Amino acid sequence: ARPSLSCTVLAYYVYIPLPNTVSEPWKLRVVDALLRGVMILGNLAHDLGLSHRIYVLNFAVNRFEVQGPRSSKAVLVTDTAFAGVQVRVFESTRRKEGELKRAVIYLHGGGWALGSARMRSYDSLCRRMAEDLKGVVVSIDYRLAPEARFPEQYNDALRASRYFLQPRVLARYSVEPSRVGVSGDSAGGNLAAAVAQQVATDSSSPSKFKVQALIYPVLQALDFNTPSYQQNQNVPILYRPLMAHFWLEYLDGDLSFIQPLLANKHTALDVYWTAQGRAKVNWTQLLPASFRKHYKPVAPAHGLAQVVEEVPALLDPRAAPLLAERDVLARLPRTYILTCEHDVLRDDGLMYGRRLEEAAVSVTHDHYEDGFHGCMVFAFWPAYSSVGQRTVENYIRWLDDNL
């Protein structure tokens, strides 16, 4: 009876209700259960004063995921530093002598606090990109919260990108200067979008990005009640309160602001200095009806101005690229945006795509009805899934066609 009871308790813990269109739901449930378990341990260690909760999460991830640079016949892999920022470089060995290559600068996800370019999943993705594109992929290991807060992650990403874009560095890696792109997923998509904006508007930059490719990017923190936030607030692996937590860790805000953020108290109608920002995240205008569905805006009459006063970076386009002015957006390169139906961040990507199109930027929107946040990682062992494989294949195909 005891083993049976244990199995029942385990099944009860692992099982969570999911939309019936989620791809291979039991794999997602198992990964989510593992993450929830580590988060419980992290919160316990934090409350006991033993360690910051994020350190526990990162230890668990790094203990099983981080691996050294392993080259193969097709790809040379090296760890180095660009302007003091750690990077992992993947170079295809398939090009002919003297032939110039394409290149992608990649920024990993993890809420600006977790993950690494050295993780097996990101190593596998970048290795495959380098091999399939017969090019160079630079995966940036930017610093993480809580040691680094905004704008340090952004500064690391920008500094390493600028270093790579120098003519002498591109020449060292045999890269064609006019065929460099920038990409990232989740928080890495945020950094990629912010870096792309800065490089596009920097007259001193000798090279510009040919493309940007954003994978379920997080792009704003003014509205935590978009239709996708409302629809997917309880869908793993990125729960709505967790995203608010990551934002406050990144922007060095007090975690007591999580509930005001979730209630949109920081953008209430009486918080006047957020009015311009609200217009740029007005999903009633920016989203197609098929994504607005039956959801209603959450716009309290009275709010908490203290949130924006103490966390002004909420309105900084370097932290929230969706808030960039139209003249900045108009300078951006051809863009690919991948979104997933079962993801709180779906509408961030959709709204950014619409604003880019309004600024006359060419945008490819790749949407997955059975996708969820982080599903691209599910293209690799041990969490291999159909939607993960499809996202990777289509993403690399777009890069191959446009870079």
pLDDT digits (tens, 9 = 90+) for 325-335: 999 999 999 99
Q: Is 64 helix (H, G, I), strand (E, B) or coil?
A: helix
At 127-153, the pLDDT tens digits run: 999 999 999 999 999 999 999 999 999
- Residue 294 among the catalytic residues: no
- Residue 343 among the catalytic residues: yes
Calpha distance 2→120 (Å, rounded):
37
Q: Where in 136-208 does DSSP place strands (E)?
A: 136-141, 175-185
Calpha distance 36→351 (Å, rounded):
30
- Residue 186 among the catalytic residues: yes
Instruction: Give 254: exposed, middle or buried? Use CB within 10 Å, 0-12, 13-18, 19+.
Output: exposed
Calpha distance 134→299 (Å, rounded):
49
CB 311 within 8 A of CB 257: yes
At 60-106, the pLDDT tens digits run: 877 778 899 999 999 999 999 999 999 999 999 987 777 899 999 99
Tokens of 331: 């300078």
pLDDT of residue 166: 96
At 358-385, the pLDDT tens digits run: 999 999 999 999 999 999 988 877 778 8
Tokens of 177: 């200067």
Q: What is the DSSP string of 41-57?
A: HHHHHHHTTSS-HHHHH
At 178-205, the pLDDT tens digits run: 999 999 999 999 999 999 999 999 988 8
Calpha distance 25→375 (Å, rounded):
11
C-alpha distances (whole Å) from 237 to each of 36, 164, 359 are 9, 33, 33
Q: Which alpha helices (DSSP H) does 48-186 contain, by range?
A: 53-65, 120-133, 152-164, 167-172
Calpha distance 71→90 (Å, rounded):
8
Calpha distance 141→79 (Å, rounded):
10
Calpha distance 264→261 (Å, rounded):
5
Half-sphere exposure of 363 (CA within 13 A, CB side): 23
At 244-254, the pLDDT tens digits run: 999 999 999 99
At 270-311, the pLDDT tens digits run: 887 777 788 899 999 999 999 999 999 999 999 999 999 999
The model's confidence at residue 1, banded by pLDDT at 50, 70 and 90, is: very low
Instruction: Show the CA angle centred on residue 26, arms to residues 25 and 27, nearest 5°.
Output: 90
Active-site position among 186, 207, 228, 385:
186
Calpha distance 189→374 (Å, rounded):
12
Active-site position among 123, 141, 185, 343:
343
